[in-house]
Each structure stands twice: as structure tokens, then as C-alpha cells.
């Protein structure tokens, strides 16, 4: 079976930090597919493309060449991913831009290629259901909306953005809705994925819960 750990789940469930730490601990690459879609959205907006320009968005996706650095982090066209991909502006637009089939099929192919090239922790929405149905370990992370919004506020404030809790809570809810109800590759728990509710877990507990399950089911 494929040496890939998939972590799918809603925004703010702790996927990204958990995936990053878990990858470090196990010496795996960190395949942050949300960051790939965010990079595509940033480039699309910079190029003046609208979310309904499906063919142009697909062609833009083809021009983005993702790879792993020596430090096992994602790069785009040989460079680190731009920090702007985490801005509130990109967060509020990414669900629209990542929806078209023309974009998803190109990105999924790249993700699959990266996952086949090295053992990795693949984090996203459709990792277990679409991109890596043959992954060896599958996890699905959830958390209560209020907890997720508080975490996101802290994260953004630390990164120097000034944000409002209510706005973040609303943005998370809207994104969950769009990600779960879109036509292509919606957010969905795979039947054989292990569900982990992180609402009352510390980051250390989230990472060790998954690491222990991975080690006990080699």
C-alpha cells in the first residue's frame, strides 16, 4: 500500500499544524494541498482571473509546478510558497477558485505524483476519497466551530493580521458549506478513515494520537 498518511477535515480542525508536526516526527514530506489551492488562487487573482473562467484557471494550474524542498516542504516553481496565501483575502476566495473540475483534475494529478515520489502526510479535503484512496493510513479531523474560529483568530493575529472573531466564524462556516456541497471532490469522510475530534485536545495530543495509531498499524 501507498506510504501516505491522509488527513482530511474541516478548516481549523488542526489539520495543518498536526500534519506538519507529524511529518517532522516521522521524517515524511508534508503535502499541504490547501496551500497548493491557495497558491493557485493567489496567482489567479493577481492575473485578474475570475472564478468562472474555468479553462483559464485550468491552464494557470498547469503552469504551477509543485515539488518538495530538501527540508521536505512544498515549493512552487522552485520557490517557497508565498506568505500571502494565508491572508484573509485569499481565505475568503479560495473555495470559489478551487471548485472547477478544470483546476481540481490538474492539482490532483500533481498531488498524486508528489505522494508517489516520497512518503508523506497529505492534508486536505479529498485526500482519502479521491487522490489517495489506496493510502495506508487515513484520518478525518473535526472540532467544534467556536474552537476552530478561536484557533484561526490566534493564528492570524500571530501572523500580524487584525481580525474579528465573528467574521472568522462566519468565514469558516461558509467555507465548510462550499467545500462540503461542491460538485467535484467534496469534503467527505472516507468510510475507512479514523475520525478524531480535536476540540479538547492539545496540539501534542493530536499529533501523538495519530502517531500512535500509525505506529500500531504499520
Q: Which residues bind ligand DC (CB under 6 A)?
A: 11, 33-35, 37-38, 94-95, 98, 124-126, 175, 179
Closer residue to ligand DC in complex, CB, 35/114: 35
Buried b (16+ CB within 10 A) or exposed e, 12-29: bbbbbebbbbbbeebebb
Q: Tell me how far apart the alpha carbons of residues 188 and 109 are, in angstroms, rounded to a whole number.
A: 19
43 φ, ψ (degrees, to nearest 5): -65, -40
Output the smallest distance, CB 10 to ligand DC, in A.
9
**Which residues is 5 bridged to in the sheet?**
121, 137
188 φ, ψ (degrees, to nearest 5): -160, 140
Closer residue to ligand DC in complex, CB, 84/212: 84
Closer residue to ligand DC in complex, CB, 95/110: 95
Q: Tell me how far apart the alpha carbons of residues 122 and 36 are, in angstroms, rounded to a whole number.
A: 12
Output the smallest distance, CB 165 to ligand DC, in A.
17
Closer residue to ligand DC in complex, CB, 125/214: 125
Output the smallest distance, CB 216 to ligand DC, in A.
27
- Number of alpha carbons in the 13 Å side-chain half-sphere of residue 207: 14
Closer residue to ligand DC in complex, CB, 89/212: 89
Output the smallest distance, CB 211 to ligand DC, in A.
21
Amino acid at each position: 500500500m501507498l506510504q501516505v498518511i491522509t488527513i482530511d477535515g474541516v478548516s481549523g480542525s488542526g489539520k495543518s499544524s498536526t500534519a506538519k508536526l507529524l511529518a517532522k516526527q516521522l521524517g515524511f514530506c508534508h503535502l499541504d494541498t490547501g496551500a497548493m489551492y491557495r497558491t493557485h488562487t493567489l496567482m489567479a487573482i493577481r492575473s485578474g482571473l475570475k472564478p468562472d473562467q474555468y479553462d483559464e484557471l485550468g491552464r494557470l494550474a498547469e503552469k504551477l509546478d509543485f515539488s518538495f524542498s530538501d527540508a521536505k516542504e512544498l515549493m512552487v516553481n522552485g520557490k517557497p510558497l508565498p506568505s500571502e496565501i494565508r491572508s484573509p483575502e485569499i481565505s475568503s476566495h479560495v473555495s470559489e477558485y478551487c471548485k472547477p473540475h478544470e483546476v481540481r483534475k490538474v492539482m490532483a494529478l500533481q498531488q498524486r505524483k508528489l505522494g508517489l515520489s516520497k512518503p508523506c502526510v497529505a492534508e486536505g479535503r479529498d485526500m482519502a476519497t479521491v487522490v489517495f484512496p489506496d493510502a495506508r493510513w487515513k484520518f478525518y479531523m473535526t472540532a467544534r466551530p467556536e474552537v476552530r474560529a478561536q484557533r484561526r483568530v490566534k493564528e492570524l493575529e500571530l501572523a500580524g493580521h487584525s481580525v474579528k472573531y465573528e467574521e472568522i466564524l462566519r468565514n469558516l462556516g461558509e467555507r465548510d458549506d462550499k467545500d462540503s456541497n461542491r460538485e467535484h471532490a467534496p469534503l467527505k469522510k472516507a468510510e475507512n478513515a479514523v475520525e478524531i475530534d480535536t476540540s479538547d485536545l492539545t496540539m501534542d495530543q493530536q499529533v501523538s494520537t495519530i502517531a500512535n495509531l500509525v505506529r500500531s498499524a504499520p
